[in-house]
Amino acid sequence: MATVCERITALREKMKENGITVYVVPSTDCHESEYVCPHYRARAYMTGFTGSAGTAVITMDKAGLWTDGRYFLQAAQELSGSGICGVAVISAIYGAADIRRASEDLKAATREMLQA
């Protein structure tokens, strides 16, 4: 099986072929389930992070993962050496009703990652 670095490199090749600059890999299925069947575990496959919650963002030269506080240590361990440059804890500081603010902060964190 290919390593995380090899999978991300292959994805970037396909992104380049198709003119895609940013690829978002969520943890959910089409029903927004937190715990999904193996078919929908694309984020775990692409990043090696096996926690039930998180979103990966892959660009042509960087990759990052956003998850909540339950998985910060796990993510840091599982992503070590993967080429994924950062783990940001997002949802732990928001209530369920404040999804708009969480979304805006995720966008801001993504912009920061792309500029670093």
Mean of all residue pLDDT scores within the chain: 80
Given CA atoms 57, 63, 69, 72 in this order, what sign does their dihedral have? Answer: positive
Note the pLDDT tens digit of each residue in 28-44.
878 877 788 888 888 99
Contact 14, 46 (CB under 8 A): no
- pLDDT band for position 92 (50/70/90)? very low
What's the pTM value of the predicted model, to 2 decimals? 0.72
pLDDT of the residue at 14 = 96
Residue 54 has a pLDDT of 86
pLDDT greater than 90 at residue 106: no
